[in-house]
Structure 1
Amino acid sequence: MQQGSESGVTLGTATRRLRRWRGMTVEQAAGLAGMSKGYWSKIENGYVTVERRSTLTKIANALRVSLSDLTGEQHLLAGSSDEVSGAIPDIRLALLQSSLDDASQECERSILALKSETTRLAVARQSAELATVGRAMPALLVDLHAVAASDGPARAEALRSLVLACQVTTMLVKNLGATDLAWIAAERGHEAAMRLDDPVWIAASEFARSQALIGLGAFARAEALARQAVEMLPNSVDSTELLELRGNTLLTSAFAGAVAETADPAAAITEATELAARTEASNAFFLAFSQANVDQWRISIAMETEDPILAAQVARDLDPERIPFASRRTGLLIDHARALAALRGHDLEVIELLQQAYRLAPTRTQHDIFVREIVTELLLRARRDAGGRDLRFLADRIGLLDPRR
């Protein structure tokens, strides 16, 4: 299988195109990224899998482009008409045309209806019902802004719902590769939280901003914001909601610090584990904090610190049934596949894990940069007699095979 038979844009082809656009040689680009010429060349030709977000950031910085130029909206595949991807322009317009300072905006829905809709879409995103979220989120964002911009009695409730709706939007579009839009959504949620002047809701909005910054490759800034949010949430309180929010924010800080190499994640993981034992896994702020959630972050951090053995071990020991939400189960399957792919010699298991992820959340799996990297590498070294029928089916599903072949 040659790279020329692919129809979807891969990281390698995007890297080569952007390097040539910059007028750089392979040697020049590799030197700026702090890697060897041979390794860069292998990335461009799909012969190695990029396994760390920090490596993606180094490539983007060397080429003086954003991470989304490498891994973002080009993954809304050419010819793709999936409903979720189609919602991105509507979400962008809803955010750009709404304002918390425009009291002339109108909304016909009651605050109770808006709160209920916010909850419905938050749960739908966790259940990987992304088309449901994509269809309804633009109108919800517009209506929440209208009520939150007013001086009426529902203003505070609308601001809280807007923080949550923007968090849901941030996670939705970030996972689809629209990382710049994720930051816009997170910033709007932070603006709503600041108007509430409540440290808990400000901390919740910082979680979304940190996630958006991670998607943009700004790991040091993400770690700083998450750490700032942790300081707003004391460990001594008895509130399950606050402790769950603190736990999630600690884990975000640990991950971003590990990638940026600015902080040792061990202490944050230890405290998050202790918090998980103290809480009821109530899905506070729709963040699904639990011991299983801590283990998932441990897997992601292990992959970023080049310890795929630990990542694979934790993934094998983590029963997917302990994870109640399809979005998180999909993440576990993908990260488990990433770890095994890095270890080599587990191709059939990797393919099965990615097939499970695709069946559970096809859109999320299709747009995941690491899935696309793994499948591209497997295709390039697959033999006809090793047949890779399951592999070719998966590659076709996520848009990596030319339909004419």
Structure 2
Amino acid sequence: MNASVVSADLPTLRRMVNRLTPDELLSTLLAWSDLGLLPGPLAELLDSEENLEETVYGPKRRFVNLVLLAYKGIGFTPLQIAHLDIKHASRAEGTRNWQTLRLVRENDVMGQIRHDEAKIEKSISACVAAYYEHHCYAAHFGNTIWVRLAIYEGIRKNDVPATASTIFLVYILHSNYLLYTKYKPEYEAVIMEALQRTFKAKGIEPHSLAGKGHAPLIELLTQKDAQGPYSKYRLGQVDINPLIHPSKKRMEGELSRLWLCYVQPKEPIVPEDAMVIDERENAVDEQFGRNSLPALPYVDYAASFPLYHRDMRESETTPLSIRVRIEGPNVIDGLRSLLAAGLAVPPLPNFLAELHSTAINSFRDGDLSAPQPGAETPVPPQE
């Protein structure tokens, strides 16, 4: 067996194969077939349509065992390991903490960059090769290019690198933004140099946006002008057909009867004015729009308030600093629901109402353009 080939008997490798769906595993095998990396038994399986359908859509455990058994004694190359890993990472949400970088480039540089994953892979690999033994692989998924960089530090090439030594980079095409997963601090200088050379950037700045799902972060970064109240201008996104004649309004008494709600079974009925509910819904639509918004998992807000008493001199006044973190499955939807329930009074401050268009996790004193101290290295909430 080749010194850089990973044994199919490793439990880590079984987990990497097992976490793919049957369809993902089948597409991976077809890619390996095109590269000439498929052993005979699996090549025969792909040629038999009847057996293939029975295997892929049968018990998943049997399919996984068949793949691992076919590679027993042959092993998996680092390229195949990268295929398995990046296929899962590009589909799975909530398995990694993602942070954001912003590329500082000249205006005319964007058109000079060829978005070729092979060239991006070669450029990053050439920069890292001077410092570490590694394997680099890049793949194109939709409007993004994914890069998996596995650094073999302290381990042999015939082993699977640890999570801390496997870095994922996601470049959003035709933009100045990159997503990346957490890596060891000693890798930072090498990775920043590789990215700066590859994407022809004058510099790289941390951007105050982080989360556990890459898809919402990409949507927040690329569709800033298509969120919130501007979403009503997105084609195919509005549920109301303007050509349909609106129905006649119901009588006010009938509406008030429809909006009766029970607080508790044995307590008096508490009516709520339908007009108030309509006003709340209109306020929500004006600030957040009607479409679902990307999930923002947390928001940090820092502020300083003047602390002053009449017995204090002006030179003795000291600011009172506070820091608030709002967490949840989707902070923006949470703010929208507060308005709809009447727990918040519209209009919300701009730094809360415009979270969907600014694409940041932290701000100070309501200034969305000035990140708070500590925002240079955004840290996702700990589990």
TM-score if structure 1 supplies the norm length?
0.25
Pair member with larger Rg: 2
Whichever structure has more strand as a proportion of its residues is 2
